Amino acid sequence: MRPTNLIRIVPICAFLLFPGCSGNAPEKAETASENAAVQKQASKIIEPCKLVTEADAAKILGEAVKPAEKSEQQVVGMKLCLYNPVDTESTQFLQVTLTQDSFMPPQGIASASIYKSLKDNFEGMRTDIEGVGDEAFIATGGIYIMANGYYISISAGNINSETVRNRLIETGKIAVAKLEPLL
C-alpha cells in the first residue's frame, strides 16, 4: 500500500472509530441523557408474573393453567411470563412481557423508544385504547401498554375475536394496577 493511501485511511478510521470526532457527539449525549431519565423513572426490575399471577390467568382464561413458563432477553430488557392451560386440548394461553430499562444493558434502547417504534410501525393497523396505563393500543400480537416507564405487552390469541380483545384489555388493566404498588 502506498504511504499516501495510509495518510488518507488513518484519519477516516479515526473519524469512524471515535464518535466524538464525528460531530454527532452532542446528539448521542442527548439520547443517552434521555435514556438515563427514563431509567431513573423505571429503576426497579419487576417480574411480569407479579403483574398477572397464575390465579389471575386461570380466572381470565376460565380454566386451570400450568405454572408459568419464564424467559428473558436482557439485551432488550424483556422478561416474559407464559401461562398455558392444564387441558392439553385447549388452545388458550396468556403471555405477559415486561420490557424495562433497569433490566437492559447500559447502552440499551429505552423501553419508551421501543414502545413508540412499535406504535409508529402499527400506524393505520392499530386500535388505541383509553384507560389502560399511560397509553395503550391493540394490534397484531396483542395489547401494547406504556405505564410509568415500563412497556408491557400481553398476548392471548387472535385479536380479531371480540372475546380475546376484551380479555387483553381486562388483563392490561390488572397488570397496570399491580405495577403501581411495585414501583
What are the residue ranges in the chain where pLDDT is below 50?
1-42
Q: pLDDT, tens digit, for every residue of 102-130?
A: 999 988 899 999 999 999 999 999 999 99
The pLDDT, as a whole number, for residue 121 is 97
Distances (CA, A) of 132 to 91, 96, 140, 147: 26, 15, 18, 8
All CATH 3.40.1000 domain ranges in the chain, comma separated: 48-182
- Stated pTM of the model: 0.77
Rounded to 5 degrees, what are φ and ψ at 119? -60, -45
CATH 3.40.1000 fits 48-182, yes or no: yes
Q: pLDDT, tens digit, for every residue of 172-181?
A: 999 999 999 9
Q: pLDDT, tens digit, for every residue of 36-50?
A: 434 444 468 999 999
